[in-house]
Homo-oligomer: A and B are copies of this chain.
Amino acid sequence: MLKNSEFVNKLRNSGLRPTKQRLKICEVLFNRDKTFHFTINDLAKNISENFNEKISLATIYNTVHAFKDKGYLKEITISSDKSYFDTNITKHHHFYDEDTNLLIDCNDNEIGKVNIKNNITGKKISSVEVLVRVASDTQNQN
Contact = CB atoms under 8 A, between A and B. Distances in A.
Interface of A: 77-83, 95, 97-99, 104, 107, 109-112, 114-120, 122-137, 139, 141-142
A134 B125 contact: yes
A126 B133 contact: yes
A136 B117 contact: no
A55 B29 CA distance: 46
Main secondary structure of the interface of A (DSSP, over half): strand
A139 B126 contact: yes
Nearest to A99: B123
Contacts of A97: 120, 123
A114 B111 contact: yes
Query: How many chain copies does the complex carry?
Result: 2
14 contacts: A77-B77, A80-B83, A107-B118, A109-B118, A111-B117, A112-B114, A114-B130, A125-B132, A125-B133, A126-B135, A127-B131, A127-B132, A128-B132, A128-B133
Given A77-B79, A80-B80, A114-B112, A127 B133 contact: yes
A110 B82 CA distance: 30
A116 B111 contact: yes
